[in-house]
Amino acid sequence: MANPFSQTTRSLHGDKSSIGALLWLLALVLFAAWSAWFLLVPITVYEVSKTARVEVEQAVHPITAQTNGKVLATTMQLNKIVNKGDILLELDARSEQLALAEEEARLQAIPPQLTSIGRQIADEEQAAERLAAAAANAISAARQRHQEALSAAEFAKEHAQRINVLQATGRVAQIDALRSRADADKTQSIAGALSFEIDRINADSLGKAREKQAAVEALRRESAALQGQLALSTASVERLKQGIDKHLIRAPISGKIGEAAPFETGSYVESGNVVGRIVPTGNLKVVADFSPARALGRIRPQQVGRMRLDGFPWAQYGVINVQVARVASEVREGNVRVELVPDSQLDSKTLLEHGLPGSVEIEIERVTPAVLTVRAAGQWLSRPVRQTRY
């Protein structure tokens, strides 16, 4: 039976053939474009950090108590600008101050004693010099008298000998001879006595000199003991002053107080407690932690990246362009520390501040998708085979 719509049917078959060919051609074009992109067009590979944080260039300094004590006064307030050395917290140091006053009073009494002993030493030395001079004069006078006595004894002896000669011839009476011998013996005795006098003066002067020397040595020992006590008291005063100064908790650096413990007047602070932290002023940096397996050898200085802040959606506030400055070569707490420098000309609406958290993406390399696919397949195939337990 003849089909009344044969022409329409043939027209539809012709249209289906044209659409099919067009679809196949479109698929081939898309596949060729995808293959060209897959094999030829490089894409950027990013490494994403575990954590990231905005920090100042200088390290944040903790404010630490160096001794125990009760809080007398505090001026610590959050975001307060302080200068290095400003007193932030004052602890009770009354017992140390009383000990310092006692030691200073003892110290002030030592110099006058040293001055008095110095004068006594000078007086004793002058007295010793005067005694030595007097002894020398006495010895000299005694030696002169002794010499005179020796001369007189020699004369008396010769005179007695001549009288004896004359007495033997009968020219001189016997009594005169006896008198001359007695005079010779007397002068000889006087000379001997003067010799003993010289020895006595020498011994006496030597004894007095030793007494003066002993007195001077005793004064010098006393002076040395006082000087030692002076040095000890001086050191004690300095130690007490340092101990009192430890009761004044000062700002270690200039900056802004970023953290302050809620210590009120009368609170007790223990040594080593961190009572606050100071954020120094200066340029900002970004510190990010990466996995060691994906960071070591791949992240290097001068590489660029971007940071997204957790509290500011990047679609609204944008991202922060950063550049790698330093990469740690050792692993710490399972992470590798990377320091980055933010772009000085920020287009982001975000105001960078110390402590803002976020994440960092660093541009590692540019490779084609084919290379990434081969690399992923190689890593998958190189995984250790798990043993099946039955």
**Assigned token pair, 79:** 């975001």
Confidence of residue 197 (pLDDT cuts 50, 70, 90): confident
Flag whether pLDDT at 16 surpasses 60. Answer: no
pLDDT for the residue 177: 59
Averaged pLDDT for residues 327-346: 84
Element (H, E) at 367: strand 357-367
Alpha-carbon distance values, 79 to 87, 256, 258 (Å): 16, 5, 6
pLDDT of 223-248, one tens digit each? 899 899 999 989 999 998 898 898 88
Do 161 and 296 fall within a single domain? no
Which of 144-148, 277-281, 291-295 comes out lowest in average pLDDT? 144-148
Q: Give the span between the Cα atoms of 385 and 262, in whole angstroms.
A: 57
Averaged pLDDT for residues 298-318: 85
Given 3-state DSSP classes, what are the helix, strand and coil percentages for the chain, each rounded to the nearest 5?
55, 25, 25
Q: Is residue 27 one of the residues assigned to a domain?
A: no
Flag whether pLDDT at 12 surpasses 50. Answer: no
Confidence of residue 387 (pLDDT cuts 50, 70, 90): very low
Do 99 and 212 fall within a single domain? yes
Do 78 and 116 fall within a single domain? no
Closest CA to 240 of 110, 99, 106: 99
Do 125 and 105 fall within a single domain? yes
pLDDT for the residue 390: 41
Which of 49-53, 70-74, 222-226, 342-346 comes out lowest in average pLDDT? 342-346
List all residues 6 or more positions away from 227 whose beta carbon is below 8 Å from its beta carbon. 114
Q: Give the span between the Cα atoms of 202 and 14, in whole angstroms.
A: 157
**Which range marks the domain in which residue 272 is found?**
61-92+248-277
Q: Is residue 232 one of the residues assigned to a domain?
A: yes
Confidence of residue 1 (pLDDT cuts 50, 70, 90): very low
Do 111 and 213 fall within a single domain? yes
Q: Which residue has the higher pLDDT, 182 or 12?
A: 182
Per-residue DSSP letter, 59: P
Domain boundary among 230, 246, 262: 246
CATH of the domain at 85: 2.40.50.100
Alpha-carbon distance values, 250 to 76, 244, 245, 280, 293 (Å): 10, 13, 9, 15, 43
**DSSP 3-state of 389:** coil
Do 252 and 241 fall within a single domain? no
Q: Give the span between the Cα atoms of 89 and 91, in whole angstroms.
A: 7
Region at 389 (left for phi over 0; alpha for psi -120 to 50; beta for the rest): beta
Q: Is residue 34 one of the residues assigned to a domain?
A: no
Give the chain's mean pLDDT: 80
Alpha-carbon distance values, 101 to 67, 240, 297 (Å): 20, 10, 64
Do 203 and 256 fall within a single domain? no
Task: Provide the edge-to-edge strand list for the sheet that holds 274-280.
Answer: 61-64, 274-280, 255-260, 81-82
Q: Is residue 122 one of the residues assigned to a domain?
A: yes
Q: What percent of the chain has pLDDT over 70?
A: 81
Q: Is residue 350 one of the residues assigned to a domain?
A: yes
Do 364 and 341 fall within a single domain? yes
Averaged pLDDT for residues 304-333: 86
Q: Give the span between the Cα atoms of 218 and 226, in whole angstroms.
A: 12
Sign of the dihedral through C-alpha 359, 360, 361, 364: negative
Q: Which residue has the higher pLDDT, 324 or 179?
A: 324
Flag whether pLDDT at 4 surpasses 60. Answer: no
Averaged pLDDT for residues 332-347: 81
Confidence of residue 388 (pLDDT cuts 50, 70, 90): very low
Confidence of residue 383 (pLDDT cuts 50, 70, 90): low
Domain boundary among 198, 225, 246: 246
Do 261 and 360 fall within a single domain? no
Flag whether pLDDT at 22 surpasses 70. Answer: yes
Averaged pLDDT for residues 257-284: 85
Q: Is residue 31 one of the residues assigned to a domain?
A: no
Residue 195, number of CB atoms within 10 A of its CB = 15
CATH of the domain at 146: 1.10.287
Domain count across the chain: 3
pLDDT for the residue 173: 63
Q: Give the span between the Cα atoms of 188 and 190, in whole angstroms.
A: 5
Query: In the Cβ-directed half-sphere of 78, how many Cα atoms lie within 13 Å?
Result: 4
Sign of the dihedral through C-alpha 117, 122, 126, 131: positive
Q: Is residue 5 one of the residues assigned to a domain?
A: no
Which of 85-89, 141-145, 183-187, 233-237 comes out lowest in average pLDDT? 183-187
Q: Give the span between the Cα atoms of 298 and 192, in whole angstroms.
A: 113
Do 195 and 253 fall within a single domain? no
Flag whether pLDDT at 271 surpasses 60. Answer: yes
Q: Give the span between the Cα atoms of 329 and 170, in whole angstroms.
A: 134
C-beta of residue 71 within 8 angstroms of C-beta of residue 269: yes
Do 185 and 255 fall within a single domain? no
pLDDT of 149-183, one tens digit each? 677 667 666 666 666 666 666 665 666 656 666 66
Do 131 and 264 fall within a single domain? no
Q: Is residue 262 one of the residues assigned to a domain?
A: yes
How far, rounded to the nearest angstrom, does the alpha carbon of residue 80 sit from its chain's CA centroid?
28
Query: In the Cβ-directed half-sphere of 131, how many Cα atoms lie within 13 Å?
Result: 19
Confidence of residue 381 (pLDDT cuts 50, 70, 90): confident
pLDDT for the residue 160: 64
Averaged pLDDT for residues 201-207: 77
Averaged pLDDT for residues 8-16: 53
